[in-house]
Amino acid sequence: MSEASRERPGPGAPSATDLIHHAYQPPAGFGSPAVPVHKGSTVYFDSVAALREHHWLDKQAYTYGLHGTPTTFTLEARLATLEGARHVLLAPSGLAALTTVDMALLASGDTVLLPDNAYHPSKEFARHELAHWGIAHRLYDPMDPASLWAALGADVKLVWLEAPGSVTMEFPDLPALVRTVREAAPQAVVALDYTWGAGLAFSPFDLAGLGGQGVDLTIHALTKYPSGGGDVLMGSIACRDDALYRRLALAHSRLGLGVGANDVELVLRALPSLPLRYAAQDAAGRRVAQWAAGQQPVIRRVLHPAMPGSPGHAQWQASCRAAAGLLTLEFDPAIAADAVDAFVDGLQRFRIGWSWGGPVSLAVPYQAARLRQLGTPYEGVLVRLSIGLEDPDDLIADLAAGLARLAGATRR
């Protein structure tokens, strides 16, 4: 089935047009596509009365640079459009967005649940800072709603979801997980790390098959696709509910989190091309994945939710209209880890480095045995590939040359 003919699950999919034709009033007599970079720590008030009157939670008024400028408010509004949310907060990184949610919603004695395939630094924050503050965490298997059911209780105030999981790319049954939390722990807030979906692949606030229901909030590492340049660190928190927004915004303000106007400008400048870049990286990622699936037995399996046989493929089909340009190669576990490291070292087009969503393709090897605490079905070495904007034929040629070198080295 071609992507164009795939039915779009869930309402509310933002269009490229919505991201470009957004409400913005330039100063009288001047119009250009760019949003001005407004800088200011100090913001002037016309009178003492105005200084006392204006509250920073009121987006109609400016009070202090940390609480927003016309530039940051514009990015917040555009991200709300992209994600189908009402409210957005900006944070200095994706990880800061994630930890802000934890700090805003959890108190001593509470428990937070994390999927075992969560973004690793999120688990580390739970293991260290949250534990120091008397906040417990439990892990669940996101591919088994019964495992989530068993982990839920009256102490659980926050449940994190991630789709797909970090590195191993399992796509969970999001509607089933949300339904499980609503039934077993109605007091818990459901938060999704939406970085992979980038506001485009599915609609977390309006999940297909959940009758207009969805998660309560998302975080998004704008560092990845929205920035698109591999040169900005930024994160966002998005939600629909006014009361939840107030809790998050108050904590965010008390924590003193701000983002620089120049970085915001870079993200604003990249947003109009986000759907085009995401589609191109999706198409290139699937081409590389299909090629890699033919490289058995050296590559035992390709982990990419759009690939049949990848964990959660059926759930991806039910929930998503697209995929990010990310895939993981599961190497034959008989191949030594240092041979796989040498394969990665030898790649020319793929650079070695963290993150994804930028123009340059990246590769990182992971030891499968170290990835999970609840047990793992993966062995040996996994190589996570982030597909950039290069010609996919050049990327495939680079990987093919690497596999030929690997075959030569392991034969000797």
Ligand X SMILES: *Cc1c(COP(=O)(O)O)cnc(C)c1O
The site for ligand X (CB under 6 A) is made up of 93-95, 98, 119, 166, 193, 195, 221, 223-224, 233, 235, 355
Residue 180 CB, shortest distance to ligand X, in Å, is 22
In terms of C-beta density within 10 A (0-12 exposed, 13-18 middle, 19 or more buried), how is residue 360 classed?
middle
Identity of the residue, 95 or 207, whose beta carbon is nearer to ligand X in the bound complex:
95
Residue 284 CB, shortest distance to ligand X, in Å, is 18
| Amino acid identity for residue 247 in this structure | R
**Nearest in space to 198 (alpha carbons), one of 357, 32, 8, 358:** 357
Question: How far apart are the C-alpha atoms of 215 and 190, rounded to whole Å?
Answer: 5
Residue 186 CB, shortest distance to ligand X, in Å, is 26
Question: How far apart are the C-alpha atoms of 45 and 374, rounded to whole Å?
Answer: 56
Residue 118 CB, shortest distance to ligand X, in Å, is 8
Identity of the residue, 62 or 160, whose beta carbon is nearer to ligand X in the bound complex:
160
Residue 193 CB, shortest distance to ligand X, in Å, is 5
Query: Read out DSSP for 97-132?
Result: HHHHHHHHH--TT-EEEEETTS-HHHHHHIIIIIHH
Provide the 10 A C-beta neighbour count for residue 132: 8
Contact partners, residue 290, CB within 8 Å, separation at least 6 = 307
Provide the 10 A C-beta neighbour count for residue 338: 11
Residue 227 CB, shortest distance to ligand X, in Å, is 9
Residue of closest CB approach to ligand X: 94
Identity of the residue, 185 or 217, whose beta carbon is nearer to ligand X in the bound complex:
217
**DSSP category for residue 271:** G
Q: Left (φ > 0), alpha (ψ -120 to 50) or beta: where does 380 sit?
A: left
Tokens for 93?
A: 């990184």
Identity of the residue, 194 or 343, whose beta carbon is nearer to ligand X in the bound complex:
194
| Amino acid identity for residue 387 in this structure | I
Identity of the residue, 85 or 118, whose beta carbon is nearer to ligand X in the bound complex:
118
Identity of the residue, 202 or 343, whose beta carbon is nearer to ligand X in the bound complex:
202
Question: How far apart are the C-alpha atoms of 318 and 66, rounded to whole Å?
Answer: 41
The DSSP bridge partners found for residue 367 are 381
Query: Read out DSSP for 224-284?
Result: TTTT-SS----EEEEES-HHHHHHHHHHHHHTT----HHHHHHHHHHGGGHHHHHHHHHHH
Identity of the residue, 95 or 151, whose beta carbon is nearer to ligand X in the bound complex:
95
| φ, ψ of residue 336 in degrees (nearest 5) | -65, 150
Identity of the residue, 119 or 343, whose beta carbon is nearer to ligand X in the bound complex:
119
Residue 4 CB, shortest distance to ligand X, in Å, is 28
Residue 91 CB, shortest distance to ligand X, in Å, is 9
Is the Cβ–Cβ distance between 178 and 319 less than 8 Å? no
In terms of C-beta density within 10 A (0-12 exposed, 13-18 middle, 19 or more buried), how is residue 128 classed?
exposed
Residue 232 CB, shortest distance to ligand X, in Å, is 9
Identity of the residue, 119 or 202, whose beta carbon is nearer to ligand X in the bound complex:
119
